[in-house]
Each structure stands twice: as structure tokens, then as C-alpha cells.
């Protein structure tokens, strides 16, 4: 088996990427509608909201539609997981309103964010609500849209590459593989007070990859739960920190060893926990240069 070949991705300077996108977007102008149909026909609002996925970090993973909307936004309402590279593509004249949420530290309560979006749109502004990854994957995008719908604000949704897909790809971990995993399940390790525990029986099914978002804080207990529910202690597991960014780090081990390895490496959020036999492929398929610790 040939040794893995590492690739240092050529990251274009923000100016060069912007010029490239301007060219592409200019060529497409007029061939696609600016915004999807209003959520309610006859809506009185003149502004609108685009709920946009910023992807996992590498700005070149944005969709063209996201880049186009960012370049023309009047106002940007953004979360903390949006990378600097993506922000460099935003219309420099756009007002930026930061409502970032970090685990346990909600800068602005969700209800206030909902109201803010309604108010800005009612002022007639082109609002981009920018979220890390995909807005419908653990991003509360649905909650915000329900509020916009109730207020009669036109909206559209632009999907983004969710962290599991981005981090899996850049870490050389195919989330499914005919030999190892016929299904993949995404779960969140973060729970709202009063919510029931994760369905570990479903998560620990054999021949399946489990990806746990927001799982770093409870890593030890997540690994133990998987073992208790039938996964072998030697099941491969990985944490991908800052996936797709130049600062990406990947640590791999097993359900038994990963908590100690991750603690020794000082892994911090944002990081994804990937559990399943597919993780063993990283040793051969990892291609993106970044610090890597394996045991």
C-alpha cells in the first residue's frame, strides 16, 4: 500500500478569491432568481432574509449562491463559527451584527435573534443570517424561519456543507464505506436542560458511523456510553478540531483511548467526534496537512 500523500491546499488570498467570485457571479447574474418565492403571498415586508450556510470554515467550500448573497447583503447577522475567510467575502459596506453562541454562553437569546431578523427585514433591508455549516443541521435555522413565516417575511435558505461532511473529507474519513459503514448518524452532544439523553442504542448500532457535534465537553461519557451500548472498546474514534481550516487537527484512537489522547493534545471546540470503523481509513486517506496525533 503506498504511503499517504499530504497536500497543502493553496489558499487564495481574500482579494484573489473575491475577484474570482465577482467574475463567476457576474457571469451568472440574471440567470438565477435573487430570492425564492415570498413565504407568504402578498407579504407587506419589502426586506427579506436569506438563511445562509457558511460551511465548516474553508471559504472555498461556500456555495456560489452564498457568496453572491454575501457580496450584496445590507446587513449580516452572524454566529461565532463563521470563519474569517468567509467574512472577507462579505460586502464591506454591510452592517455586521454578531449574535454568536458558544456552548453555555448565549450572547443573544434565540427569541431576540428571531425578533431582530423580523425587525431588520421590516426596515426593508436585505438580511443575510449567516450560520456555520448548514443552517438546518443543529443550527436552529428552522426556529428562525418559523418566526419569519409568522411575521410574513420573505425568506430563502442556502444550504452549507455541514461540519461532519467537511471535517470527514479533510480528515480522510469517508463517513460511509461499503466495507465498514452502511449508515451514518449525526447527533448533538449538547442538551437543553430537561431534555432526555441521547438514544445510545441507535447511535451504537454496528456497521454505522456516529458523528457527534458539540461532543468535546462530554467526550469521556460519550465514549463510555457507546461501549455500554455494545460498541467494542477498540472501535476507532476521532476528534477533528477546526475542520477544513489551516489549523485543523485530527486525533485518533479508540473509544477507550481517545479521551486521554484528546486531553493530552488539548483539543477544544469546535470539534467533531467521529466513531466507527471508517476512522481507521484516516491513517491512509488523510491528505490535508495539519497536525495529527495517533495512538
Q: Is 81 in the site for ligand SAM (CB under 6 A)?
A: yes
What part of residues 216-235 is at the interface with ligand SAM (CB under 6 A)?
A: none
Name the residue nearer to ligand SAM (CB basis): 69 or 267. Answer: 267
Q: Footprint of ligand SAM on residues 105-144 (CB under 6 A)?
A: 131-134, 137-139
CB under 6 A: which stretch of 36-44, 174-182, 196-204, 240-248 binds ligand SAM? Answer: 240-248
What burial letters (b/e) apply to 148-168, b meaning 16+ CB within 10 Å?
beebbbbbbbbbbbbbbbbbb
Is 219 in contact with 273 (CB distance < 8 Å)? yes
Using the contact rule CB under 6 A, the part of the chain among 89-97, 159-167, 221-229, 286-294 near ligand SAM is 159-167
What is the residue whose three cell numbers read 497543502? 8
Selected binder of ligand SAM within 89, 210, 255, 272 (CB under 6 A): 272
> Which is nearer to ligand SAM, 54 or 153 (by Cβ)?
54
Q: Of residues 214, 251, 258, 282, which one binds ligand SAM by CB under 6 A?
A: 214
Cβ count within 10 A of residue 223: 26
User: Taken in order 233, 235, 236, 241, is the CA torsion positive or negative?
Assistant: negative
On whether the CB atoms of residues 249 and 289 are closer than 8 A, the answer is no
The residue to which cell 467526550 is assigned: 219
Q: Closer to ligand SAM by CB, 131 or 222: give it.
A: 131
User: 278 CB contacts (<8 Å, ≥6 apart)?
Assistant: 173, 174, 175, 176, 177, 180, 181, 209, 236
Answer yes or no whether residue 253 interacts with ligand SAM by CB under 6 A. Answer: no
Q: Please say which residue, 109 or 232, places its beta carbon nearer to ligand SAM.
A: 109
- Considering only 271, 278, 279, 282, the residue that binds ligand SAM (CB under 6 A) is 271
Catalytic residue among 22, 58, 74, 101: 101
Taking the least distance from each CB to ligand SAM, the nearer of 73 and 214 is: 214
Residue 244 makes contact with ligand SAM by CB under 6 A: yes
**Residue 173 near residue 277, CB atoms below 8 Å:** no
The answer to whether the CB of 82 falls within 8 A of the CB of 53 is no
Concerning whether 131 is annotated as a catalytic residue, the answer is: no
- Residues of this chain that interact with ligand SAM (CB under 6 A) are 56-57, 81, 131-134, 137-139, 162-163, 167, 213-214, 240, 242-244, 269-272
Amino acid at each position: 500500500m503506498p504511503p499517504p500523500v499530504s497536500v497543502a491546499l493553496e489558499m487564495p488570498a481574500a482579494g484573489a478569491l473575491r475577484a474570482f467570485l465577482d467574475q463567476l457571479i457576474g457571469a451568472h447574474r440574471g440567470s438565477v432568481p435573487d430570492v425564492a418565492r415570498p413565504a407568504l403571498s402578498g407579504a407587506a415586508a419589502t426586506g427579506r432574509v436569506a438563511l445562509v450556510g457558511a460551511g465548516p470554515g474553508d471559504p472555498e467550500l461556500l456555495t456560489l449562491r452564498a457568496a453572491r448573497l454575501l457580496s450584496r447583503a445590507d446587513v449580516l447577522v452572524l454566529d461565532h463559527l463563521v470563519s474569517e475567510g468567509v467574512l472577507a467575502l462579505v460586502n464591506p459596506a454591510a452592517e455586521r451584527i454578531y449574535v454568536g453562541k458558544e456552548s453555555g454562553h448565549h450572547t443573544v437569546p434565540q427569541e431576540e435573534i428571531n425578533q431582530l431578523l423580523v425587525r431588520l427585514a421590516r426596515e426593508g433591508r436585505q438580511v443575510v443570517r449567516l450560520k456555520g455549516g448548514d443552517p438546518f443541521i443543529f443550527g436552529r435555522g428552522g426556529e428562525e424561519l418559523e418566526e419569519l413565516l409568522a411575521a410574513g417575511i420573505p425568506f430563502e435558505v442556502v444550504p452549507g456543507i455541514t461540519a461532519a461532511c467537511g471535517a470527514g473529507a479533510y480528515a480522510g474519513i469517508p463517513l460511509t464505506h461499503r466495507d465498514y459503514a452502511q449508515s451514518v448518524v449525526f447527533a448533538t452532544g449538547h442538551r437543553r436542560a430537561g431534555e432526555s439523553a441521547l438514544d445510545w442504542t441507535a447511535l451504537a448500532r454496528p456497521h454505522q458511523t456516529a458523528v457527534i457535534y458539540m461532543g468535546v465537553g462530554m467526550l469521556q461519557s460519550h465514549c463510555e456510553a457507546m461501549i455500554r451500548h455494545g460498541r467494542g472498546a477498540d472501535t476507532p474514534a476521532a476528534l477533528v478540531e477546526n475542520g477544513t481550516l489551516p489549523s485543523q487537527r485530527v486525533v485518533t484512537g479508540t473509544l477507550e483511548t481517545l479521551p486521554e489522547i484528546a486531553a493530552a493534545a488539548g483539543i477544544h471546540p469546535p470539534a467533531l467526534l467521529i466513531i466507527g470503523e471508517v476512522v481507521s481509513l484516516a491513517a491512509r486517506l488523510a491528505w490535508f496537512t495539519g497536525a495529527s496525533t495517533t495512538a
